[in-house]
């Protein structure tokens, strides 16, 4: 029968962690792009656009990521699109991340004093110009720390994709547990690997918050 050495266990988990990292990156970057779009819609003066964005955020923040994954997985296929597990997982994670990032960034944009809109409008700038040259550069500064902080949630969120059959760190963990009968060891190692991925992100978020927000404390 197949015997797993400690090295076999660790090697398989580390190999699978590559997929966790890749999926996290794709979801975070994709979520950022979609999130930016939703954020623009949300702060837009067009009521329909703002309403659609609100509804989007309400739905994706108000339902479990697990259900979104199931629906993306089985729903896309019913629309006639055969998608592999990684694509369905990536899509659901992108849409989910976007809803949180849009809200985080909206908070940052709105935190930039309202007077600045008026000041830049008096310079004859259009809404998009104001956004690009006045508001966003300032909002960016206060957005960095919470955005990095949210990336931790994305990494942890990828664990759920194991349930729809994407083989990443958690899925490898359950498969190896079953082949070795050592749940304590295997899930312990899985937890350590996640911690090693997430903790530096958490710490840098805290560090950035202290550093970048220092300017605001008089």
Partner 1 sequence: MRYQLNFDWLPQYLPTLIEGIGVTIYLIVVGAVVGCLLGIVCAWTRALGPKPLRPLVGAYVELIRNTPFMIQLFFIFFGLPSLGVQMNQLQAASLAMIVNLGAYSCEIIRAGINATPRGQFEAGASLAMGRFQTFRYIVLVPALQRIWPALSSQIVIVMLGSAVVSQIAAEDLSYAANFIQSRNFRAFETYIVSTLIYLALSVLLRQVLSGVGWALFPKRKAAQ
Partner 2 sequence: MHRRLFLSLATLTLAALGTALPAYADALENIKAAGTIKIAVPQDFPPFGSVGTDLQPVGYDVDMAQLIGEKLGVAVELVPVTSANRIPYLQTGMADLVISSLGKNAEREAVIDFTDAYAPFFNGVFGPASVSVAVAADLAGHKVGVTRGSVEDLTLTELVGDGVDISRYEDNNGTISAFLSGQVELIATGNVVAAAILERNPPIRPELKFLVKDSPCYIGLNKNETALLAAVNAIIATAKTDGSLEAISQQWLGQALPVDL
Give whichever of 134 and 145 is closer to partner 2, judged by the CB atom. 134
Minimum CB–partner distance for residue 63 and partner 1 (Å):
5
Instruction: Please report, as residue ranges, which positions from 56 to 75 form the binding site for partner 1 (by CB under 8 A).
Output: 58-59, 61-68, 70-71, 74-75
Minimum CB–partner distance for residue 213 and partner 2 (Å):
27
Give whichever of 94 and 134 is closer to partner 1, judged by the CB atom. 94
Minimum CB–partner distance for residue 62 and partner 1 (Å):
4
φ/ψ (deg, to 5) at 25: -60, -50
Q: Which does 149 bind (CB under 5 to 8 A by kind): partner 2, partner 1, none?
A: none
Site stretch for partner 1 (CB under 8 A), options 27-35, 39-47, 192-200, 209-217: 192-200
Q: Which does 202 bind (CB under 5 to 8 A by kind): partner 2, partner 1, none?
A: partner 1
Q: Which two tokens stand for residue 46?
A: 């067009």
How far apart CA 24 and CA 46 sit, in angstroms, is 33
99 is an interface residue for partner 1 by CB under 8 A: no
Give whichever of 44 and 174 is closer to partner 1, judged by the CB atom. 174
Residues making contact with partner 1 (CB under 8 A): 58-59, 61-68, 70-71, 74-75, 78, 80, 152, 156-157, 159-160, 162-163, 170, 173-174, 177, 182-184, 187-188, 190-191, 194-195, 198-199, 202
């Amino acid at each position: 029968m197949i015997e797993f050495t400690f090295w076999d266990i660790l090697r398989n988990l580390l190999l699978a962690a590559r997929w966790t990292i890749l999926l996290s990156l794709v979801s975070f970057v994709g979520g950022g792009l979609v999130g930016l779009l939703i954020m623009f819609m949300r702060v837009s003066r067009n009521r329909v656009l703002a309403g659609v964005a609100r509804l989007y955020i309400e739905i994706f923040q108000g339902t479990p990521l697990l259900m979104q994954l199931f629906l993306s997985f089985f729903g896309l296929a019913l629309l006639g699109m055969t998608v592999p597990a990684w694509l369905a997982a990536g899509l659901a994670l992108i849409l989910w991340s976007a809803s949180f990032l849009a809200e985080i960034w909206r908070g940052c944009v709105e935190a930039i004093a309202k007077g600045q809109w008026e000041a830049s409008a008096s310079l004859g700038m259009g809404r998009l110009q104001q956004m690009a040259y006045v508001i966003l550069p300032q909002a960016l500064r206060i957005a960095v720390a919470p955005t990095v902080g949210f990336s931790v949630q994305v990494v942890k969120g990828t664990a759920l994709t194991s349930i729809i059959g994407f083989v990443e760190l958690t899925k490898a963990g359950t498969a190896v547990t079953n082949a070795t009968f050592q749940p304590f060891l295997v899930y312990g190692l899985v937890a350590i690997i996640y911690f090693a991925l997430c903790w530096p992100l958490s710490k840098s978020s805290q560090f950035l918050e202290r550093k970048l927000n220092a300017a605001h404390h008089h």
